Amino acid sequence: MSVRYVESSRLPTAWGVFDIHGFEDPDTNKEHVVLTMGDVGDGEPVLARIHSECLTGDALFSLRCDCGNQLEAALKAISVVGRGALFYLRQEGRGIGLLNKIKAYKLQDAGADTVEANEQLGFGADMRDYTILGPMLRHLHIARVLLMTNNPRKVLAMEENGVEVVERLALHTDSNPHNEKYLLTKGAKMGHLFAAD
């Protein structure tokens, strides 16, 4: 895996001061970051979240998804316990990219769900590659996690990267009229689990 560490610095946020660790993937020209708080490499289970970039939800406050709310909830949860890691992966639109996501939005406006829209554009339902996590996890010496996710693929991703998922923690956010179909599709077609194990 070609993902490599570049640099770290402090990052003050509304939820406290994190350390931000930068990584680059020369194969894709993508840059990824991990936000950590406290000592995450001491062998104890680390509260963690794998979060894929969502410009529309994370930065532009879109109500079409729950991404921004999940990002904020994860950062808040880490700050409450004072220790954790958030992996922010540059895999917009489940890996299809921002402009293709906008095309998918147009298809959703015409009645398609999120999976159907991706497939109509010639993509798989979820094109994200979680093997890129390996070098980041090894660099931070993270071996055991309490994983905040509703997505069973992310549990598998951690395990495939040699990390023990001690517990999956459901990440609840409020629905709204704009994202109800999106959330239903995640449960029905993508196997997302909205309750704790």
Beta strands in the chain (DSSP E): 4-13, 16-25, 30-37, 46-52, 84-89, 144-148, 164-169
Q: Is 54 annotated as a binding residue?
A: yes
Q: Is 126 a catalytic residue?
A: yes
| Residue 56 annotated as binding site | no
Is 52 known to sit in a ligand binding site? Answer: yes
What SS3 class is residue 96?
Answer: coil
Please indicate if the annotation marks 70 as binding a ligand.
yes
Tell whether 76 is in a known binding site: no
| Exposed / middle / buried, residue 145 (Cβ in 10 Å: 0-12, 13-18, 19+) | buried
Q: Is position 65 annotated in a ligand binding site?
A: yes
168 belongs to an annotated ligand binding site: no
Q: Is 92 marked as a binding-site residue?
A: yes
Asked whether residue 108 is marked as a ligand-binding residue, the answer is no
For residue 147 the two structure tokens come to 């994983």
Marked catalytic residue, from 128, 138, 153, 174: 128
Tokens of 178: 């704009």
Sequence-ordered list of residues with C-beta below 8 angstroms from that of 151, at least 6 positions apart, any chain: 186, 190, 191, 192, 193
Rounded CA gap, 36 and 85, in Å?
Answer: 4
Q: What is d(CA 3, CA 161) in angstroms, rounded to the nearest whole number?
A: 14
Catalytic choice (25, 66, 113, 126): 126
User: Binding site for Zn(2+), residues?
Assistant: 54, 65, 67
Q: Which residues are annotated as a binding site for GTP?
A: 49-53, 70, 92-94, 114, 149, 154
Residues classed as catalytic: 126, 128
Give binding residues as ranges. 49-54, 65, 67, 70, 92-94, 114, 149, 154
